[in-house]
């Protein structure tokens, strides 16, 4: 009799254990579903936020060319170190006011505009310096400037 009772107790224990396992299974299932929904909502919000950001209308293909361009780092370093000085020198020497009522007034205007546009690009400024030497005959002026003459002297000599 005792043996039968013991068997019955074991059976009831087994049943309760399986019930517990199925219950725990269902809890984990619901939890994973909730997690999945939360992740989906977060992705949706992130996607929407990204849509509102700048350049969201551009595709990756638009950027491909920009990605593949080579950057002249030496020019950047030169610009950081020397462009300020070169700009000052060129803007004072090539100023259009120095060429008023001369045949070079228009060229000087063009060059000065270019100088102002590229005031932080050393490479462009160097090219403009060469152009100014060629078109405005500034070789003489620049050599004088190197010998520490005053700008007024340069002006007098150029005219």
Partner 1 sequence: MWYKIIQIIEWFGDMADRYKLIRDFNNSAKNYFISGKAGTLLEAKITWGDSAYRHAFSKFMGSGFRIKALSGKYMARYELIEIGNIILNNEILVRKLISLGWDTLEVQDNHGALGCKWALKEYANIGGFLNN
Give residues in contact with partner 1 (CB under 8 A): 50, 53-56, 58, 60, 62-63, 65-67, 69, 71, 73-74, 76-77, 79-81, 83-84, 120-121
Q: Is 67 or 146 the residue whose CB approaches partner 1 more closely?
A: 67
CB 158, min distance to partner 1, A: 31
Nearer to partner 1, 3 or 55 (CB): 55
CB of 65 to partner 1, least distance (A): 6
Q: Residue 134 in contact with residue 147, Cβ under 8 Å?
A: no
Least gap, CB of 130 to partner 1 (angstroms): 21
Name the residue among 133, 135, 130, 138 with its Cα closest to residue 155.
Answer: 138
For residue 127, the surrounding DSSP H or E stretch is helix 122-135
Spell 91-111 as b/e; 16+ CB within 10 A means b: eebbbbebbeeeebeebbeeb
User: Under a CB-based contact definition with an 8 Å cutoff, are residues 132 and 91 in contact?
Assistant: no
**Between 15 and 77, whose beta carbon lies closer to partner 1?**
77
CB of 83 to partner 1, least distance (A): 7
Nearer to partner 1, 65 or 97 (CB): 65
């Amino acid at each position: 009799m005792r043996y039968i009772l013991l068997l019955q107790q074991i059976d009831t224990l087994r049943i309760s254990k399986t019930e517990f396992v199925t219950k725990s299974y269902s809890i984990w299932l619901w939890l994973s579903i909730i997690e999945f929904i939360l992740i989906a909502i977060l992705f949706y919000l992130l996607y929407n936020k990204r849509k509102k950001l700048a350049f969201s209308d551009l595709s990756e293909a638009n950027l491909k060319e920009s990605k593949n361009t080579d950057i002249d780092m030496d020019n950047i370093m030169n610009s950081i170190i020397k462009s300020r000085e070169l700009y000052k020198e060129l803007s004072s020497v090539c100023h259009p006011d120095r060429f008023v009522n001369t045949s070079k007034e228009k060229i000087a205007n063009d060059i000065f505009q270019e100088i102002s546009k590229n005031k932080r690009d050393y490479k462009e400024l160097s090219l403009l310096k060469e152009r100014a030497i060629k078109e405005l005959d500034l070789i003489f002026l620049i050599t004088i400037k190197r010998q520490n003459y005053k700008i007024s002297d340069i002006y007098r000599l150029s005219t």
